[in-house]
């Protein structure tokens, strides 16, 4: 069985540790906070727990899982790759496009597995939508729009764009067939703290005329997490909260007349995408297969995050 060490035992790191432990793959945890180390020791008696990241780099465990604050991702991932480790790094992969590209290039050159935690790509509903769109029943995919809105935990170290949008940007690129980015327009509001946007709208334009829109907010009165796909034959709506996909067989004909031939609801199993994601990483480490959310997928997402940030900062 492939083994991993999880680096960072905060909220999300504990989720990753639990999943890898239940998969029989957790070999250790790195955590600098003494109280969190005590929690890990109590949860996993006998588990190897490291205070120093360098200790993890010198073990014979082949893979590291990075669940540390985003500003540390580039340095820690680079150190792991240079030490000959395979790496799973949580989103966002890095905070700069050039850093993301450097990691992906290095991993390829050294034949290392580099995977980014774009969790929604492992949601069965997204997998189903990708396969359905590939059949051509919806026609040419023209536009994808996503919303990720709620009254959530406001952060001081990052805005809602970097916190929420990596999920949706990764889905947009997947459902549009990994198109080449041509243009970005962005607008946002920092209502609670100067310089930290709480509500952001971003429009994306791709080669071939495809477009996308992302709306994310953690200062919103209602919970909404959905993805709308507009094809020239059908339209799909994925409600992430209800785990339901609706296919709308409607559109506009050549004479610009509306056409509505009804709708169909597809019930999607409420599975565990994090478990699927963790197992996928283990499988890729063992087989040396390129992950679905590989380093270059991370580069494409960070490039969009980065360009929108430049516009938000004026």
- 276: part of which helix (H) or strand (E)? helix 273-287
Q: Would you say 300 and 212 are in contact if contact means Cβ atoms under 8 Å apart?
A: no
Which regions of the chain are under pLDDT 70? Answer: none
What pLDDT digit, counting tens, does each position of 68-104 carry? Answer: 999 999 999 999 999 999 999 999 999 999 999 999 9
Distance CA 247, CA 238 (A): 9
Q: Would you say 245 and 125 are in contact if contact means Cβ atoms under 8 Å apart?
A: yes
30 found inside a domain: yes
Question: Is there a single domain that holds both residue 98 and residue 148?
Answer: no
Question: Is there a single domain that holds both residue 132 and residue 266?
Answer: yes
What pLDDT digit, counting tens, does each position of 194-219 carry? Answer: 999 999 999 999 999 999 999 999 99
Question: Is there a single domain that holds both residue 88 and residue 151?
Answer: no
245 found inside a domain: yes
Question: Is there a single domain that holds both residue 142 and residue 58?
Answer: no
Q: What is the pLDDT of residue 199?
A: 98
234 found inside a domain: yes
Distance CA 267, CA 264 (A): 10
Q: Work out the angle at residue 96's Cα, subtended by the Cα atoms of residues 90 and 100, and round it to the nearest 5 degrees.
A: 60
Q: What is the pLDDT of residue 155?
A: 85
Question: Is there a single domain that holds both residue 155 and residue 210?
Answer: yes
Whole-Å CA distances, 157 to 71, 77, 123: 9, 20, 28
Question: What does the buried/exposed string (b/e) look like for 162-180 if buried means 16 or more CB atoms within 10 Å of the residue's CB?
Answer: bbbbbbbbbbbbbbbeebe
Torsion of CA 96, 101, 102, 107, to 10 degrees: 130
Distance CA 148, CA 181 (A): 22
307 found inside a domain: no
Question: Is there a single domain that holds both residue 176 and residue 255?
Answer: yes
The CATH number covering residue 22 comes to: 3.40.50.720
Question: Is there a single domain that holds both residue 245 and residue 278?
Answer: no
Q: What is the pLDDT of residue 15?
A: 98
Question: Is there a single domain that holds both residue 130 and residue 266?
Answer: yes
Q: Would you say 250 and 261 are in contact if contact means Cβ atoms under 8 Å apart?
A: yes
Distance CA 314, CA 310 (A): 6
Total of domains in the chain: 2
Question: Is there a single domain that holds both residue 103 and residue 228?
Answer: no
Classified as helix, coil or strand, 149 is strand
27 found inside a domain: yes
Question: Is there a single domain that holds both residue 255 and residue 283?
Answer: no
225 found inside a domain: yes
Q: What is the pLDDT of residue 170?
A: 98
The pTM of the full predicted model, rounded to 2 decimals, is: 0.95
300 found inside a domain: no
Question: Is there a single domain that holds both residue 83 and residue 176?
Answer: no
Q: What is the pLDDT of residue 268?
A: 82
Question: Is there a single domain that holds both residue 146 and residue 258?
Answer: yes
266 found inside a domain: yes
- State which residues form the domain around 278: 4-117+274-294
The CATH number covering residue 189 comes to: 3.30.360.10
DSSP class of residue 24 equals T
**Before 92, cis peptide (omega within 30)?**
yes
């Amino acid at each position: 069985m492939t083994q991993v060490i999880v680096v960072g035992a905060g909220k999300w790191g504990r989720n990753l540790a639990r999943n890898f432990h239940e998969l029989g793959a957790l070999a250790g945890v790195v955590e600098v906070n003494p109280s969190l180390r005590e929690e890990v020791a109590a949860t996993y008696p006998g588990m190897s727990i490291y205070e120093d990241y360098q200790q993890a780099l010198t073990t014979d465990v082949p893979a590291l899982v990075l669940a540390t604050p985003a500003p540390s991702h580039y340095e820690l991932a680079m150190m792991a790759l240079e030490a000959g480790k395979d790496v799973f790094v949580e989103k966002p992969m890095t905070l700069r496009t050039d850093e993301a590209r450097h990691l992906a290039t290095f991993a390829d050159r050294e034949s290392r597995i580099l995977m980014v935690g774009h969790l929604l790509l492992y949601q069965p509903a997204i997998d189903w939508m990708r396969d359905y769109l590939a059949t051509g029943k919806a026609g040419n995919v023209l536009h994808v729009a996503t919303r990720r809105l709620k009254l959530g935990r406001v952060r001081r170290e990052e805005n809602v764009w970097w916190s929420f949008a990596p999920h949706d940007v990764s889905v947009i690129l997947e459902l549009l067939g990994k198109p080449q980015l041509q243009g970005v327009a962005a607008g946002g509001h920092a209502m609670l703290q100067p310089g930290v946007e709480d509500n952001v709208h971003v429009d994306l334009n791709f080669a071939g005329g495809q477009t996308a829109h992302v709306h994310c907010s953690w200062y919103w009165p209602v919970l909404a997490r959905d993805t709308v796909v507009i094809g020239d034959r059908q339209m799909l709506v994925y409600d992430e909260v209800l785990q339901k996909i609706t296919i709308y067989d409607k559109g506009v004909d050549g004479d610009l007349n509306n056409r509505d031939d009804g709708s169909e609801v597809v019930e999607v199993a409420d599975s565990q995408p994090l478990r699927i994601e963790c197992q996928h990483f283990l499988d890729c480490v063992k087989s040396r297969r390129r992950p679905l959310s590989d380093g270059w997928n991370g580069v494409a997402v960070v490039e969009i995050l980065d360009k929108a940030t430049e516009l938000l900062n004026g």
